[in-house]
Amino acid sequence: MRQDVKKIRNLLKKYAKLKRDFTAFNQVSSPSFDGVSSHSSRNGAESRLINHVDLSYQLKEVEDALNAIDDPQYQFILHDYVIEKHFTRNEVCNQLSVSVSKFNYMKNEALHAFAKFYSDITV
């Protein structure tokens, strides 16, 4: 596997994990401020809020790049196969009516299409 394709796949796998973490974070109750001053320059609630904003920004960047891809087959491959893992490779090949080698080509093209729109990756 070429390094650039591997790098993009790893980023999308990280995105899937971030999305799960972000969902879990949103299910936690809101931080409460007890009015007690802290000797440090940052309290726990502030750190969690900054982490929340950072996660949401990272997710939005990836989602914007995914949504910018025009080809619905590429979007399907990236979202349902690479990120969400809803289907096996053979199932995707059947759904797209393509051979495994054609699917691998399409997957690599989809990953490169994503990289064109995602600003934080160099390929």
107 pLDDT exceeds 60?
A: yes
In whole angstroms, give the CA distance from residue 100 to residue 114. Answer: 21
Q: Tell me what pLDDT residue 40 has.
A: 54
Q: Tell me what pLDDT residue 3 has.
A: 80
The chain-wide mean pLDDT, for the chain, equals 82
- 29-84 pLDDT per residue, tens: 555 555 555 555 556 767 666 666 777 888 889 999 999 999 999 999 999 999 99
In whole angstroms, give the CA distance from residue 54 to residue 84. Answer: 22
> Looking at residues 84-101, what average pLDDT do you find?
96
Q: In terms of pLDDT, which residue wins out, 20 or 105?
A: 105
What are the contacts of 99-103 at 24+ separation with CB within 8 A? Answer: 103/77
